[in-house]
Each structure stands twice: as C-alpha cells, then as structure tokens.
Amino acid sequence: MKTRHVLLLVFLMMIFAACSNDTEQADNEVDKSSLIPALSEYSDEEIEDIDRGQELVTHTNDMLPENVGNNLSCASCHAGAGRGDSLNLIGVTEKFPQYSEREGKDVTLEDRINGCFLRSMDGKEIDPEGETMEAFISYFEYLSKNIESGDQYDFMTVDERADNIPAPNVEQGANEFSRYNCMSCHGRAGTESAYTGPDLWGPGSFNDGAGMARFSNMQYFIKHYMPKGQEGTLSEQEASNIAAYILMQDRPEFEGVNRFPNGNKPDDYLNEETKEALRNNYLDWTDFERVQDE
Ligand code: HEC
Ligand code: HEC
C-alpha cells in the first residue's frame, strides 16, 4: 500500500473511532453486561467469595434467616442480583462513602447495605466486619470493576423517582392491579406461595421505613419495571394508582426512626401515620411534594 493510502486509511479509522465514541457518550447505550469482567481474571479463592456474594443477593432470606424478617431477597428489587434493569448495582462501590440525608453524615457501602437489612429486609444488621459482609462487598466490587468514580451510565441507579406524579385513585389502583395480572406472579401477598414475584405487602414484605415505602419510589418502579416482561406499558396515572393501592396495605412497621437530622425528610413515606391521615382525609395525596395538583 502506498503511504498516501495508509494515511487515508488511518484518517478514516480515526473519524470512525471518534464518531462511535461520540454516539456512545451521547446516549450511553452500552450493553451493561459487557462492563462486567470475566471471572477468569480472578483466583479460585476470589471467585468463591464473588459467587457467595451473588448467592446472598439472590437468596438473602433463605441464607440469612437471622437477619431477614420477611420473604424478600436483595434481588426482589435489585433485579438479576444487581445486573438487571431495576435498581442496578453495577458501579455501586464507586459511589461510596456517600453523604446520606437519612443519617446526616457520610456512610460507607457497608452502612448502606445494613440500612437495607433494617428496612427493605425488615431485619437485623449483619456484622460489618464479618465474612458475610465481605462476600457482599466482593461481589459488588466485581460488578463495579470496570467503572470509575464519576462515570455516568443510563442504567445506573441515580434518583429513581419522578416529579409531578399524577394524584392517585386507590380504588382504580385495586382494579388495575387485577386487570394487569400482577397477582399471576406476585401471588397472594402475605401467604406462602410458589409464585415467582416477591411479596408486595403483608408480613413477608419490606417495612414502612424502606425506600420502597416512599410513594414516589414505588410509582417509578412500577412505571419503569413492571409488569415484568411488559415493562413500560402502564401510564404514569396507572402506575400512580397501583403504587397507592399497594402502599395503603398493611406491612411491617420500621422500629427505628428515619431521622434525617438535618431536615429534608421526604414527605411521602407511607407509614402508619401518613396512611391514617390519608384514610381520614386530613392529608391529601397532592400534599406530597412530588405529587401534582390536578
Ligand atoms: C424492597 C426493595 C429493596 C430491597 C429488597 C433491597 N433494596 Fe437496596 N435499594 C432499594 C431502593 C428503592 C434503593 C434506592 C435508594 C433509595 O431511595 O432508598 C436501594 C439502594 C441500594 C443501594 C445503593 C445504590 C446506589 O446506587 O446508591 C445499595 C448498595 C443497596 N440498595 C443494596 C441492597 C442490598 C445488599 C439488599 C439486600 C440485603 C437490598 N439492597 C435490598 C430497594 C431495595
Ligand atoms: C411475569 C411476572 C411478574 C408480573 C406479571 C409482575 N411482576 Fe412485579 N416482580 C416480578 C419479579 C420477578 C420481581 C423481582 C425483581 C425482578 O426480577 O425484576 C418483581 C418485583 C416487583 C416489585 C418490587 C419488589 C417488592 O416486593 O415490592 C414491585 C413493587 C412489583 N414487582 C410490582 C408489580 C406490579 C404492580 C405488577 C402489575 C402491574 C407486577 N409487579 C407484575 C415479577 C412480576
């Protein structure tokens, strides 16, 4: 090949590389599984820890009955053990330590995981220095290996709630819940069942101090990730109605206090107090900051 041709070829390759880079940066449409490293890069001992971490995320209630008070696993919300679409955990180790409004101070990833044990799992903290915690962290480090602090991808969990949620109608929500066959997977909540979806309320579900007990989080989750297999088919209004219907049901009470010592406490936790107020009409759904007036 003549030098001229080689130069032209190099030039074209540079343009091509620049363009493909641009589109990637523009919409960040990466295949998230391609960011997860090959296990062959790890030693047998490391692989054992990573596998145990993944098992723990997937079968939390079976493996840690002392620490889990309900029927959930981390994967009940963090789909695909943190590799899926909902509440993805790839890159999570790069986000901690992080300031937490709820605690009023910087928290470590270990603190954050234990926050989920107390609320989402309605259970007890695990030893922050024990082997179980080590396995969780090894797994999350493995998922995050190719992510650098500050990287932003669309699949990352940032602020999984909407502003301007249309005010819900709980009775409509009850109808839509059966119309969209949520029960075909979620079974009858609170009863023992062989269905594939986790308990949405009752003693087997998360407690009212959990992130998911916030109306805005629940609405967003349903709008974007349910019904599984037909995600995105519900309207904002339908997701709002169904979220309200689910969160108005009984669930375990969080025994600690969601302190928010420096203020900024979200107003949309549906705990006993707010549910009572809503039932008796001295609180209106539109009183919540993220819910829109007609
Ligand atoms: C009932 C649903 C639910 C369950 C079960 C659950 N989580 Fe979460 N998790 C959430 C929600 C919602 C958030 C988003 C933060 C928020 O607003 O509370 C979150 C956030 C997180 C974060 C921070 C993510 C980030 O990008 O900042 C970590 C880490 C985490 N969860 C780990 C776990 C672990 C480990 C378990 C199991 C022991 C678990 N979660 C169980 C709902 C859940
Ligand atoms: C095809 C089965 C299936 C259908 C239908 C389905 N879900 Fe789910 N749902 C799941 C699975 C499985 C999970 C666990 C997370 C994951 O893997 O995506 C889940 C998780 C959830 C969660 C978070 C976990 C929890 O316990 O709160 C909510 C809320 C939820 N679904 C609501 C709904 C609603 C509302 C509908 C109907 C509009 C619905 N789902 C329809 C399978 C299903």
Binding site membership of 190 for ligand 2 (Cβ less than 6 Å): no
**pLDDT (0 to 100) of residue 16:** 46
The number of the ligand nearest the C-alpha atom of 187 reads 2
User: Going residue by residue through the chain (294 aa), what tens digit of pLDDT does each one get?
Assistant: 555 555 555 444 544 444 444 433 334 567 898 999 999 999 999 999 999 999 999 999 999 999 999 999 999 999 999 999 999 999 999 999 999 998 999 999 999 999 999 999 999 999 999 999 999 999 999 999 999 988 888 888 776 677 899 999 999 999 999 999 999 899 865 455 555 789 999 999 999 999 999 999 999 999 999 999 999 999 999 999 999 999 999 999 999 887 788 888 899 999 999 999 999 999 999 999 999 976
Distances (CA, A) of 274 to 218, 223, 238, 243, 281: 16, 23, 21, 15, 10
* Protein fold of 42-144: Cytochrome Bc1 Complex; Chain D, domain 2 (1.10.760)
Nearest CA among 83, 103, 80 for reference residue 92: 83
Nearest CA among 133, 118, 126, 128 for reference residue 69: 118
Helix (H, G, I), strand (E, B) or coil at 201: coil
Nearest CA among 98, 97, 101, 81 for reference residue 89: 81
**pLDDT (0 to 100) of residue 135:** 98
Distance from Cα 118 to the centre of ligand 2, integer Å = 21
Distances (CA, A) of 82 to 53, 79, 169, 251, 274: 11, 6, 32, 24, 31
Q: Which helix (H) or strand (E) holds 111?
A: helix 109-118
Q: Answer whether 207's CB lies under 8 Å from 252's CB.
A: yes
The number of the ligand nearest the C-alpha atom of 200 reads 2
Binding site membership of 77 for ligand 2 (Cβ less than 6 Å): yes
Q: Which helix (H) or strand (E) holds 219?
A: helix 215-225
The answer for residues whose C-beta is within 8 angstroms of residue 82's C-beta and 6 or more apart is: 57, 74, 75, 88, 89, 90, 92, 139, 140, 143
Distance from Cα 29 to the centre of ligand 2, integer Å = 25
Q: Answer whether 271's CB lies under 8 Å from 135's CB.
A: no
Kindly report the CATH class assigned to 165-254+266-292: mainly alpha
Q: Which amino acid is at 88?
A: N
Helices (H), 28-101: 44-58, 60-63
Binding site membership of 221 for ligand 2 (Cβ less than 6 Å): yes
Distances (CA, A) of 231 to 1, 86, 221: 53, 11, 10
Is the alpha carbon torsion for 143, 146, 151, 152 positive or negative? negative
Say if strands 165-166 and 98-100 run parallel, antiparallel, or are unpaired.
unpaired
Residues with a CB atom less than 6 Å from ligand 1: 60, 72, 74, 76-78, 87, 92, 95, 112-113, 116-117, 120-121, 136, 157, 160, 206, 210-212, 217
pTM value surpassing 0.85: yes
Binding site membership of 176 for ligand 2 (Cβ less than 6 Å): no
The packing angle between helices 236-247 and 170-179, to 10°, is 100
- Residues of the chain within CATH 1.10.760.10 domain(s) are 42-144, 165-254+266-292
Burial class (CB in 10 A: 0-12, 13-18, 19+), 7: exposed
Counting from 1 in the atom list of ligand 2, the atom nearest the Cα of 221 is: 29
Q: Answer whether 50's CB lies under 8 Å from 93's CB.
A: no
**pLDDT (0 to 100) of residue 154:** 83
Counting from 1 in the atom list of ligand 1, the atom nearest the Cα of 212 is: 12
Q: What is the pLDDT of residues 234-293, one digit of tens each?
A: 999 999 999 999 999 999 999 988 778 888 889 999 999 999 999 999 999 999 999 997
**pLDDT (0 to 100) of residue 196:** 73
